Structure 1
């Protein structure tokens, strides 16, 4: 196994990291020395005299400020990346004019974060008067400092100054809210009402919208506008029922009701929409109980039949989500019986077809799905019902019937988005069944009929494999070359290079092959496909080189598919806007100060203003790299430099390094060495699991860089003697340690086979073991394509591809 530190690229990045750390250490040393000097000077002055406090805040206010009412601001306190001696700074009675304006802001922010508001205000005032990119930050936090110290008039003036002088500031919306909050605290309810109303209209997506709505109601109530306040509270309760403020408005509505003031009764449609909000938030029980109450009220009202149908359908779906399958079947049956020809009844029939297999009635489910298409051929659910019926048939090994059902769906609904998927599945059934002639015909039909489909590369590759099986090596090589020209570092491009090497005598490139994917098997998992001949996926030695590794080396400069070109030059008609440059410079300053979250806010704003200016985006990307914001770095590469991520060439190296960064490299290298794992495999896995986002949480609940499920993490922690907590899964060091240990366990379990280990990491080791036994005769590419879980199949392809790309970019040349 090669050590990353031997690579020239690694050494270059390591040097950059060392220089950054050295710069940070110098800044820290300067600040600590300066703080000590200030402390000693102040102590000397205090021995000679006892001056009164000066400044806009009293000592008493600064001590109690953190427990007083707080304004609604979107940026919570952030610990600077560098550590500053707040204790020594707290001894100073005034700002140190020897600091730069940026350093004054940072010193003020450090004091603000620990509640030393009076002293923080001195630094913010000094910084706000300086000439530097962060004047609006100093002004905003000066206003916040006043507000926290209950100096509401001063806070109002400071917020208004920010809104007037810095209309393009990131803090402008927060300043508008701060103005409203200040008016409210000052008791000027009319102006507060106006300000909150403007905020609600202007910033409907603000995370503080519901808080503003609640305070708007408070303003109305305080002015004895009881009816308006009641309507305001009810709208908040209806539209934002999951917010903390929704619980508070219920109390206010009850209080108003005692005074004989009630808003208009909400309509049943409004209550239905409110219940759907709970359903969309996975609060199925709550949503179901609300829908049942509504249905009881309207079920016998003919004028509300449309709403009754919608409610019954949602009740059936929610019972399905709660795994109350019998109840779901019964409720959906009621809908079909009362309104048999309605669109909702057709969808109910689709859901019944899906539910029957889950209660052990697969044949009944297939029958119901097929009946939908026959009874309602014009239904928008007919193509889906045929497709899902074919999936069930294929899973039961009824390949001929499944194949025919897919083609029927294609013939009758050729323009439906599912048509191309059905054609692919029919093609794959033909291939697996050994009917290579029919497979060729269908693969060719797919590529000609759906040239823009994402399945084209897949179909081309398997067309070439079918031709190999028929002995047409020349045509197979031609198709493989076509795939390599389309993109040698795509999954199928890499597979094509592997096949070319075998056909032309280049040799077998070899192969190797904790989150859980609880996905139902789809059509790829048919047991009848096990008859395909192969060299076997389970017999690979752990001493073999990993999948694609030789291919990766061949794709280096000077290789068969490498083209020498000049470095890129991006020409734009217009320079970046002044606003974008301003936000970029603020971001750069905040990066230097170690305030990463604030820096990210500014960089995102600048990116929104210049989404297509490649020179600007490259400069932006360098800053994202400095703060180790790998997810945004990857997104820029994949969205804005997509055309460079086709071949690994001289002018595209920058894009590949952006899209495949060496995230958390020291930790990866350490634990890869400890557990004898190729570090590039570990990097590839982390990239595809989380894009190097340590705070990532999946829909299923997997967490952290390596997306470990809580139950799996608890088991791993017990095995390695690590203290476990849910938060530990989002700690980079602990996540990489636990994930590396688990991956090593899987590699050992599957004799070093990387493909099976990856399948086990995503789909579970038990499922991977079943697939190994079930598809023991398949070649590796056929095995991957036959993984029954759609999610796991795609996951294995993505990680293998990333593994090869990391080897190609950073591996030995």
Structure 2
């Protein structure tokens, strides 16, 4: 067990993974990218010259995988058999050799080759795939019963697993069991790639089985429609629900009938949904509550406000404990927040808390009440903010509650207590938006005499769960070997396999940080900065609580990249913009993905709409600007900085308003400004009624601070 890791470390020292200057890596990349005869001959010659060395076996691995991908199965089998001499990647050689045998229709040999795969390579990420391939090959080589026994337990949890079980059962001569497994795919995973094949198999089995064909349960049939709706395939779901509303009985029939209209609602056919729900006679409690909830939503969209609130009240009378009532109350509160009508939204949010204190909307409802008390300067504001921290320590508004509690106590002449709240933010959430504000408040406060804070303040802060600590930078020898395997795969030009290897290690070997960092590094080297950001967000989700000096600089540069820096800084200077603010805006808009397209069809790094791009282009003397030109980073930066400058000028340089306008549209920012005016920009941001826009503004301002620290010198 010790020899292989040692050999691998020697190999990795011989040619550092990822180095394009290494002859093997250069030859491998050229072969995989071109598949030309000359490239293949050059790599084969390299393998022949080093046939007694590990590098030669690795060259054979690349030749074999390349041949397999081009369906040269006989050649692939030969090359991959010789590649097994590369111990660090022997599992890939064996697995792809089996795939090549399958491609050549030699399932018996493939099954034999994979028989002891898990014993030989217990830590390989290919173990599950090898098992599935062996089962399939056994079932196709007159060993279906043996294959079936291998799938007896546990029950599959994926569409692919049920599909394999169904196919094996069919080959084993058990059509009823096969039909049942195909039905699991068809009814439980209707949005999966396997769905069409399962449907075709069921259509073929139905006439063969006749009366023995297993009848799907009503719950299965409704579940299929629900799964389609969950996947936002509303038209397909509506068709399923419509058929079920005729065929089913009782509560399931009523739920299907209501969900036909719900699909119309989600397809923005509001009037059709409203009329359909009005006509329904729903007697089953849960179906009736669901239908009434969606009828209320339709009324809201159709601006029938009195009907909307009446239906919310009706839910309270008829279905007081239904989760649909919780949703309706919260929705009603949100409606009046958009109108800045505290007289109405506070009672709705209070009803959420009183009737559903542990519901998933309770933290947000409580925050809205506490925030209203703060801006109204009510005497109970401080207690409500403390209650929010105590009752909902995992709330998304925790840092907001701490900051505004500090502001409240500071205004009341308690700077020492205010400092305690601000310092807690600095220590526990150093990169949060509200910490940026707290830092500014501390500067403005100036020196504060030392001394104890009241015990209740210390107890309140002590009751907050600790933020996740930074991951350890130390890496065990075994983990180092796993990471070097991925680097070697990437260096050989097998980037997809390298990513799969790293994802497997991140999720099954406790290597989330190290594997995530390597994934991000490889993505950034390919120019996929948005993927790098997403990898680190996924595998180190608590990064905003990590002190800057607790992590390597490269980690932060991958999370907050600055590609196209020269152009970004030049265009920012031309428009008299802070380049770090522009970088922060781009990170939030597109994550530095020049090919990004939003739901609204905005494009490129700075997410410019084609119509806006054409207008801005004309101002710069660019005529007939195509929509695809917005994918060009230089063009996006040029137009985007001009657009941001104009929005800033429109709001007299008020940055928070400009960012809200850039994200949600100036018309919405104008409306929010007309509803409520604050002398404190931070209060105005907190009052933005669209959660998406509010978090956007906060994130841009927060990230601009990080960009200044990283790149500002």
Q: TM-score, normalised by structure 1?
A: 0.65
Q: CA deviation at 1:261?
A: 9.0
CA deviations on 1:432-476 (whole Å, 9 max, x unpaired) are: 3332x1212211221233334332221122223334555555544
1:117 to 1:722, Cα distance in 2 relative to 1, 3 A: farther
Q: State the distance in 2 between where 1:186 and 1:716 align.
A: 65
Q: State the distance in 2 between where 1:772 and 1:685 align.
A: 21
2:691 corresponds to which residue?
790
Q: State the distance in 2 between where 1:597 and 1:400 align.
A: 56
Q: State the distance in 2 between where 1:463 and 1:346 align.
A: 39
Confirm or deny that 1:691 pairs with 2:591. Answer: yes
2:326 corresponds to which residue?
383
1:313 corresponds to which residue?
258
1:681 corresponds to which residue?
581
1:347 to 1:215, Cα distance in 2 relative to 1, 3 A: closer
Is the partner of 1:183 in helix, strand or coil? coil
2:232 corresponds to which residue?
282
1:647 to 1:174, Cα distance in 2 relative to 1, 3 A: same
Q: State the distance in 1 between where 2:699 and 2:48 align.
A: 52
Confirm or deny that 1:142 pairs with 2:64. Answer: yes
Q: State the distance in 2 between where 1:253 and 1:176 align.
A: 29
1:206-285 aligned within 5 A? 264=213, 267=216, 269-285=219-235
Assess if the C-alpha contact under 8 Å between 1:109 and 1:120 holds in 2. Answer: no
Q: CA deviation at 1:750?
A: 2.8
1:493 pairs, out of 435, 446, 453, with 435
1:329 corresponds to which residue?
274
1:164 to 1:256, Cα distance in 2 relative to 1, 3 A: farther
1:194 corresponds to which residue?
140
When structure 1 is superposed on structure 2, of 121-130 and 383-392 the one drifting more is 121-130
1:644 to 1:462, Cα distance in 2 relative to 1, 3 A: closer
1:456 pairs, out of 382, 388, 398, with 398
1:433 pairs, out of 371, 376, 381, with 376
Q: State the distance in 1 between where 2:359 and 2:158 align.
A: 38
Q: State the distance in 2 between where 1:265 and 1:811 align.
A: 68
- The root-mean-square deviation of aligned C-alpha atoms, in Å, is 4.9
1:632 to 1:396, Cα distance in 2 relative to 1, 3 A: closer
Alignment gaps of 5+ in structure 2: 1-15, 112-135, 449-469
Q: State the distance in 2 between where 1:313 and 1:389 align.
A: 21
2:705 pairs, out of 798, 804, 812, with 804
Assess if the C-alpha contact under 8 Å between 1:477 and 1:500 holds in 2. Answer: yes
Is the partner of 1:453 in helix, strand or coil? coil
Q: CA deviation at 1:127?
A: 9.0
1:484-633 aligned within 5 A? 484-504=426-446, 570-571=473-474, 574-577=476-479, 580-587=482-489, 589-590=491-492, 600-608=499-507, 610-612=509-511, 625-631=524-530, 633=532
Confirm or deny that 1:104 pairs with 2:7. Answer: no
Q: State the distance in 1 between where 2:176 and 2:358 align.
A: 54
Confirm or deny that 1:295 pairs with 2:254. Answer: no
Q: CA deviation at 1:358?
A: 1.0
1:460 to 1:176, Cα distance in 2 relative to 1, 3 A: same
CA deviations on 1:572-595 (whole Å, 9 max, x unpaired) are: 5x42347514423314624xx6x7
1:228 to 1:184, Cα distance in 2 relative to 1, 3 A: farther
Q: State the distance in 2 between where 1:220 and 1:124 align.
A: 47
Q: State the distance in 2 between where 1:204 and 1:173 align.
A: 22
1:750 corresponds to which residue?
651
2:292 corresponds to which residue?
349
CA deviations on 1:296-344 (whole Å, 9 max, x unpaired) are: 233xxxxx32321331232121011122223323444455x3324x222
CA deviations on 1:5-45 (whole Å, 9 max, x unpaired) are: xxxxxxxxxxxxxxx9xx97xx5xxxxxxxxxxxxxxxxxx
Higher relative contact order (CA 8 A, sep 6+): 1
1:424 pairs, out of 340, 345, 367, with 367
2:316 corresponds to which residue?
373
1:179 corresponds to which residue?
101
CA deviations on 1:706-762 (whole Å, 9 max, x unpaired) are: 344566556656666377666655554444444334323323333333222211221
Q: State the distance in 2 between where 1:161 and 1:212 align.
A: 33
Is the partner of 1:381 in helix, strand or coil? helix
2:671 corresponds to which residue?
770
1:171 to 1:238, Cα distance in 2 relative to 1, 3 A: farther
CA deviations on 1:146-165 (whole Å, 9 max, x unpaired) are: 6746x544445556777998
Number of residue pairs the alignment of both structures matches: 641
1:362 corresponds to which residue?
305
Q: State the distance in 2 between where 1:615 and 1:239 align.
A: 35
Q: State the distance in 2 between where 1:689 and 1:805 align.
A: 16
Q: CA deviation at 1:294?
A: 2.8
Assess if the C-alpha contact under 8 Å between 2:44 and 2:63 holds in 1. Answer: no
2:13 corresponds to which residue?
none
1:317 to 1:175, Cα distance in 2 relative to 1, 3 A: farther
Is the partner of 1:576 in helix, strand or coil? helix
Q: State the distance in 1 between where 2:83 and 2:180 align.
A: 33
Q: State the distance in 1 between where 2:85 and 2:244 align.
A: 50
Is the partner of 2:104 in helix, strand or coil? helix
Q: CA deviation at 1:695?
A: 4.8
When structure 1 is superposed on structure 2, of 393-402 and 156-165 the one drifting more is 156-165
1:672 pairs, out of 552, 566, 572, with 572
Assess if the C-alpha contact under 8 Å between 2:57 and 2:83 holds in 1. Answer: no
Q: CA deviation at 1:405?
A: 3.4
1:132 to 1:206, Cα distance in 2 relative to 1, 3 A: farther
Assess if the C-alpha contact under 8 Å between 1:610 and 1:616 holds in 2. Answer: no
Q: State the distance in 2 between where 1:215 and 1:731 align.
A: 48
Q: TM-score, normalised by structure 2?
A: 0.73
Q: CA deviation at 1:681?
A: 1.2
Q: State the distance in 1 between where 2:611 and 2:138 align.
A: 49
Q: State the distance in 1 between where 2:546 and 2:245 align.
A: 56
Assess if the C-alpha contact under 8 Å between 2:482 and 2:505 holds in 1. Answer: yes
1:372 to 1:777, Cα distance in 2 relative to 1, 3 A: same
CA deviations on 1:380-411 (whole Å, 9 max, x unpaired) are: 33333332233334444542343233234323
1:392 corresponds to which residue?
335
CA deviations on 1:505-527 (whole Å, 9 max, x unpaired) are: 99xxxxxxxxxxxxxxxxxxxxx
CA deviations on 1:263-299 (whole Å, 9 max, x unpaired) are: 947635544444444434433223212321232233x
Assess if the C-alpha contact under 8 Å between 2:330 and 2:352 holds in 1. Answer: yes
Q: CA deviation at 1:431?
A: 2.3
1:759 corresponds to which residue?
660
